[in-house]
Structure 1
């Protein structure tokens, strides 16, 4: 495997988590309003938690791209955004 093939594989592995990290804070801001946590920090936390979920799914299933991993990614991203937006305190 060449360096470029490895880079493409790693990018494609991380792309769902990075896409969720980009869109979830914007969706959370749209639905719940601006939170106390800054947008960049929320994106960074979303990216880190998403990559952890994808790596956990890879270790658990032995392959990437399982639907249960993507479901877990969406649930973790929504829960993380709700926690950072302090969803329990909003009216």
Structure 2
């Protein structure tokens, strides 16, 4: 495997976390417009992406391969928890 193949593999490993982070942060900003007015969209996306990426890496280590439904379910829960923490949980 050359550098370009390795680059695309790593990028595709983290793509679900980025996609869920972008969509979930946008949905949260739309649903809780007043409550999340002071929280920036980028901050919500970053918190959600980091949580999702950590779960994807943990799923890869624990289960031995990526793309398992258990990992994706845990990623969605981690992204939701991170969004709650970034938007509502800690002092803004």
- What TM-score do you get using the length of structure 2 for normalisation? 0.86
The one of 76, 84, 90 aligned to 2:86: 84
How many residues matched?
87
Backbone CA RMSD of aligned residues = 1.4
Map 1:1-91 to 2 at 5 A.
Answer: 1-34=1-34, 35=36, 36-86=38-88
- Runs of 4+ with >3 A deviation: none
Q: Verify the 8 A CA contact 1:28 1:82 in the aligned structure 2.
A: no
How big is each residue's C-alpha offset from its partner over 1:40-86, in whole Å with a ceiling of 9 and x where there is no partner?
11111111111101000011101111100000011111122123232
Structure 1 alignment gaps of length 5 or more: none
Structure 2 alignment gaps of length 5 or more: none
